[in-house]
A and B are shown apart, each in its own frame.
Chain A
Amino acid sequence: GENVEQHPSTLSVQEGDSAVIKCTYSDSASNYFPWYKQELGKRPQLIIDIRSNVGEKKDQRIAVTLNKTAKHFSLHITETQPEDSAVYFCAASILGGDDKIIFGKGTRLHILP
């Protein structure tokens, strides 16, 4: 089955700097890669996603890149703000497949003042 590795487990960045979180996946059939943000005590919420037919997607300060050959995908947050502090999970899934969404272990992002 699919296995998603995520790094780093904890990341501290100065407010205004950029943050990068990296994930790898094992199943070459995976074709959909969502990123979820989970604040303390709250539900995971989708912040951005990418399909395997696209190499990069951007939404304001957030971007995701995908390298299908290497089975890598990354989340980039620019101009970080205090409200970006949360746990971020990458995930992998097969659209049109078995509906499983497999999560990475998460990255706790701290934005330092």
Chain B
Amino acid sequence: DTEVTQTPKHLVMGMTNKKSLKCEQHMGHRAMYWYKQKAKKPPELMFVYSYEKLSINESVPSRFSPECPNSSLLNLHLHALQPEDSALYLCASSQVRRQLNTEAFFGQGTRLTVV
């Protein structure tokens, strides 16, 4: 199983809503990532979790709150978002430090629209 599964596929939320994006993998990967991708732009790193601990936060606003409840799951909690936060949110996973197995696998993404 080389799949990273993200839910939901699409999400429309108001600026006062609270919602969560979910990501799951069963490849035994202990590094998990959140990326944000705007249209016609590259994926932009937001957060990295290594061994279920937050190792990188790329100065992301606090209205985005990541959580890694166990080694297979990664959540992104959303609160008080702005319309400019509308984007495709991609989850990825890999081996930590990727010494032996280098590939990072991406999920299909959640297309988020903030209205």
Contacts and interface: CB of A to CB of B under 8 A. Distances in A.
Contacts of A44: 43, 90, 106
Interface stretch (A53-61, A66-74, A75-83, A89-97): A89-97
Given A89-B43, A103-B42, A106-B42, A95 B48 contact: no
Interface in B57-97: 90, 92, 94, 96-97
25 contacts: A32-B102, A36-B106, A44-B90, A44-B106, A46-B103, A49-B103, A51-B102, A89-B43, A93-B98, A95-B98, A98-B56, A99-B31, A99-B33, A99-B56, A99-B97, A99-B98, A101-B33, A101-B92, A103-B42, A103-B44, A105-B41, A106-B40, A106-B41, A106-B42, A108-B40
Contacts, number: 64
B102 A100 contact: no
A61 B48 CA distance: 33
Contacts of A102: 45
Interface of B: 31, 33, 40-45, 48, 50, 55-56, 90, 92, 94, 96-99, 102-109
